[in-house]
């Protein structure tokens, strides 16, 4: 009886640890600072390629970023 209880307890602890790590990683990878860096890198990429479809997607991402985060990135001109 105690070995089953120990296995169950260990399983629950492992599940809690995995969920906690997933939550922390999810928070880190959706943070405004990482999104900011990603957008700035994509702006540099756009300035090299001038791809209009890439620009439209980038403008959408900048707009969403400006709505979600305290930092503001100037909307680029795709024209």
24 with 49, same domain: the answer is no
Kindly tell me if the per-residue pLDDT of 1 is higher than 70.
no
Q: How does the average pLDDT of the chain come out, rounded?
A: 88
58 with 78, same domain: the answer is yes
22 with 36, same domain: the answer is no
76 with 40, same domain: the answer is yes
Q: Is the overall model pTM greater than 0.75, yes or no?
A: no
Residues of the domain holding 8? 1-29
Q: How many domains does the chain have?
A: 2
- Which 3 state secondary structure label does DSSP give 78? coil
Distances (CA, A) of 52 to 40, 45, 49, 65, 68: 17, 12, 9, 20, 24
45 with 71, same domain: the answer is yes
| Nearest Cα residue to 67 out of 42, 32, 37, 43 | 32
pLDDT 10s digits, 13-47: 899 999 999 888 777 766 888 899 999 999 999 99
Residues 6+ apart with CB under 8 A from 46: 54, 55, 58, 76
Kindly tell me if the per-residue pLDDT of 4 is higher than 80.
no
21 with 41, same domain: the answer is no
24 with 48, same domain: the answer is no
């Amino acid at each position: 009886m105690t070995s089953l209880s120990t296995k169950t307890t260990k399983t629950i602890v492992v599940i809690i640890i995995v969920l906690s790590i997933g939550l922390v990683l999810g928070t880190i990878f959706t943070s405004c600072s990482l999104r900011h860096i990603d957008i700035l890198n994509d702006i540099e990429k756009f300035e090299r390629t001038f791809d209009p479809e890439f620009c439209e997607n980038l403008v959408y991402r900048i707009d969403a970023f400006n709505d979600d985060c305290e930092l503001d990135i100037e909307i680029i001109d795709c024209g």
